[in-house]
Chains A and B, each alone.
Chain A
């Protein structure tokens, strides 16, 4: 992975709403096959950053380059061939079935009739087998458990066949088993399929153990750190320690302080 390419370049980027930036300018890169976690407290701008990088929201200042092209000059279709997105938004529709939902990932490649070619079908079946969603295909999406829903949305993103997959808090509402499974699956997709995975999360200990890099929202600054760096535990302690919990660098967990 040492000779990896740069997929996305952030150049003095600021994200936010109504021209109000949520943080100082941030420059970084996303390389092929990297697994990056965005962590930070609630309301610091994790989701906004993710949506901006995915091109569905404009940056307040700075630039994003997708393979050296300024994202501002790219059409939504071109971006959709490079970046797939999994959000926390719930799906209300009571009829949409799992297979049809996954097949929607091929939108950007199909004709107006959404006719699925052999290539489309192969990509869909690949996505289904990676995410192990084969048994769910005929079910109505809204009837699935939260963990299953997440896997199906991931399959849709995989079917989109992009070099990058961004996920907004993909392990919300999941029990510990599903959280672990999701993180491991995402890590595997980065390692084996050379996808660049960028996700926002509150699971600091998972991020510390599995991520290649962490983008950490620290009081108006975004820090670009690696879990194994010496000073990383101190930075995390500084942000997340409170009167009642303390970060334990050995286990990457938070310990309750006894009174």
Chain B
């Protein structure tokens, strides 16, 4: 039925893909130094441009940063969608439920805690293997805690308040840790917690990209079940969905996505919460077969735009990207709540 509907949905998806490409090019061309589209294309496709400064800026700095933005935006947005469907709660998201804070606590315990016990294993910068593992463990632990609580309380408001409290708790523990920390570790942790898309090497990008890609692909067979879950767990079960298994897979997938992303980029707020809503508003659907690709495209574009803004084009200054996503995301969420009351029937 409604082939017209499907047609327009596909058209929007193609539009979103084009939008992503444009935003990507813009993101690469903007910055403290402006590089024209022509130059970008030359650098990317003509080998004899390898010695120019444009080449260095693009290949060594802007390109990896923009790829990081694309991967991060997609991964966080997908985790937001998964959590919103799982909890049947439009306000669910990695940062709101305290899952990002959990990842943060994992990293803080590692960076700041290890030196307290005289265990200086993490002097080098960047995301090392232990940081990634501790971020994933932190994220998954908070997720499990939230799940445990969500069995007892059904109200969305209560769940959100508990998420905020968990966030406050982890922040408190982090501040205690920072109080007793040495300056170098403290600085390392502070930079991490601002959220940053830069400083990932191609090697790290390959790892991050493969993990995210594998997780994103492994969710696809369950999209059908997610649609059934929109009706509630009992209905899903009555239609043959083994809800328990789907839940475990969704949780593991979101835990890994939020964990690895947060480990490398630091906590980046609001993307996971906001992007699914933008996608639903734009496509007027909650069908996961359409939302899923749309959210990947919108999430990537959203973070690329935020990153371009945080560069303050034609200026030397850079604002932490985490601040920009909040500055854009928070008002958007407020607007959504006021404008589309039926989105948030708490």
Contacts and interface: CB of A to CB of B under 8 A. Distances in A.
Contacts of A83: 238
B280 A112 contact: no
A94 B1 contact: no
A94 B235 contact: no
A136 B230 CA distance: 19
Contacts, number: 85
Size class of the A contact interface (CB-based, 8 Å): 35 or more
A88 to B, nearest CB: 10
B224 A110 contact: yes
Interface string A88-103: 0101111111011100
Contacts of B287: 96, 100
B224 A107 contact: yes
A160 interface: yes
Contacts of A87: 232, 234-235, 238
B342 A94 contact: yes
Interface stretch (A20-28, A72-80, A201-209): A72-80
A79 B240 CA distance: 7
Interface in A92-130: 92-97, 99-101, 104-105, 107-108, 110, 112-114
B342 A85 contact: no
A138 interface: yes
A19 interface: no
Interface in A44-100: 51, 54-56, 75-77, 79-81, 83-85, 87, 89, 91-97, 99-100
Size class of the B contact interface (CB-based, 8 Å): 20 to 34
Contacts of A112: 220-221, 223-224
B239 A108 contact: yes
Contacts of B232: 87, 89, 91
B152 interface: no
A174 interface: no
Contacts of A89: 231-232, 234-235
Interface string B326-346: 000000000000001011010
Contact of B289 (A56, A96, A113, A137): A113
A85 B231 contact: no
Given A85-B235, A91-B231, A137 B1 contact: yes
Given A92-B345, A112-B224, A105 B237 contact: no
Nearest to B231: A91
A178 interface: no
B88 A56 contact: no
Contact of A84 (B223, B238, B340, B345): B238
Contacts of B340: 94
A114 B226 CA distance: 12
Interface in B220-254: 220-221, 223-225, 227-228, 230-232, 234-235, 237-242
A142 B340 CA distance: 14
B234 A56 contact: yes
Given A94-B343, A104-B239, A113-B289, A99 B1 contact: yes
B221 A95 contact: no
A87 B340 CA distance: 27
B284 interface: yes
Given A92-B345, A100-B287, A138-B2, A107 B231 contact: no
15 contacts: A75-B240, A76-B242, A77-B240, A80-B240, A87-B235, A87-B238, A89-B234, A91-B231, A92-B345, A101-B231, A104-B228, A107-B225, A107-B240, A113-B224, A137-B2
Given A87-B234, A95-B285, 9 more contacts: A85-B234, A92-B88, A95-B280, A99-B1, A107-B224, A107-B225, A107-B228, A113-B289, A137-B1
Closest 3 CB pairs of A and B: A80-B240, A85-B238, A108-B240
